[in-house]
Chains A and B, each alone.
Chain A
């Protein structure tokens, strides 16, 4: 058991090292708080050129420019919301991996809940029908027997 835990820890340490070695972004922010906000923002903003990568993960030059923009805005004391607003004003909602709730994106956010409700509704109906059947014929035998 202890061996397993050690192996796991070594594996995780290995991953962390590999991650650091492969990191596209080597930016260091002056404080841990700024570092945390910088990492969060660059991970939730899309690289517009590669589109399925975040700014943090993309090696293209435009992503580096946009990361520099995020860094400079944070260093200038801008809030996370201000950084996001800056990006959306230039590149549109598409730059956000987590879309905002607007009239256009409402269906995106609400559809899973609506589908879940429909599913629960169907399930309840089916269960009710089954228990009604069972109550009418507690033996569970379908055929009519002699009285």
Chain B
């Protein structure tokens, strides 16, 4: 009896461990960002609207903002655009865009055509800033607090649900006041 019981127990244990692994498999698609809880990486990049103007992460210190990585070549960015416009209308915090490895003229045309949800868009042709933020696909969105610490990261398209449940719930309700 005993000689069958022990292997059976071992098998059951293995089955339970593997079942837990399979249950949690969907979470593996989203790789936890090591940036959460750390200061947002600084950058100095040209402004999409005016290349002579430089956009820096430091410009936003003292306020909550969303850092949204996008490109006109990215299908999911088109899909999340309506949510971005909704965020703009909500007037809770500014959207800072990072136009990643994109064509400036196409990017400007995209914003004219679909509406511009961003307070400002930084242009990253070389992809260096995207690497500093640990970006591995677009869209990706980071929530940064007034101390300049990355609080939350969304991988993939933003939706109304993610915006209200995951982002809005983390931000104290105070209009950022357009300027």
Which residues of A are interface residues toward B (Cβ below 8 A)? 48-49, 61-62, 65-66, 69, 88-92, 94
Contact = CB atoms under 8 A, between A and B. Distances in A.
B134 A92 contact: yes
Interface residues of B, number: 16
A61 B35 contact: no
A90 B134 contact: yes
A92 B127 contact: no
Contact of B33 (A62, A66, A69, A92): A92
A66 B131 contact: yes
Contacts of B134: 90-92
8 closest pairs, A vs B, by CB?
A48-B136, A90-B134, A92-B34, A65-B127, A91-B134, A94-B31, A49-B136, A49-B137
Given A49-B137, A91-B134, A62 B34 contact: no
Nearest to B7: A122
Nearest to B3: A126
Contact of A69 (B32, B35, B101, B131): B131
Contacts of B166: none
Interface in B113-143: 126-128, 130-134, 136-137
Nearest to A64: B127
Main DSSP-derived SS at the B contact region:
loop
Contact of A62 (B32, B132, B136): B136
A46 to B, nearest CB: 10
Nearest to A88: B34
Most buried by A among B34, B101, B128: B34
Contacts of A62: 127, 130, 136-137
Contacts, number: 37
A128 B33 CA distance: 52
A90 B35 contact: yes
Given A65-B128, A69-B131, A91-B34, 12 more contacts: A49-B137, A61-B101, A62-B137, A65-B130, A66-B131, A69-B128, A89-B34, A90-B134, A91-B31, A92-B33, A92-B34, A94-B31
Interface string B13-39: 000000000000000000111110000
Contact of B136 (A69, A88, A89, A91): A91
A67 to B, nearest CB: 11
Given A49-B136, A92-B134, A61 B127 contact: yes
A89 to B, nearest CB: 6
Given A49-B136, A61-B101, A62-B136, A92 B131 contact: no
Contacts of A89: 34
Nearest to B135: A62
A91 B137 CA distance: 12
B64 to A, nearest CB: 23
B131 A90 contact: yes
10 contacts: A62-B130, A62-B136, A65-B130, A65-B131, A69-B131, A88-B34, A89-B34, A90-B131, A90-B133, A94-B31
Contacts of A92: 31-34, 134
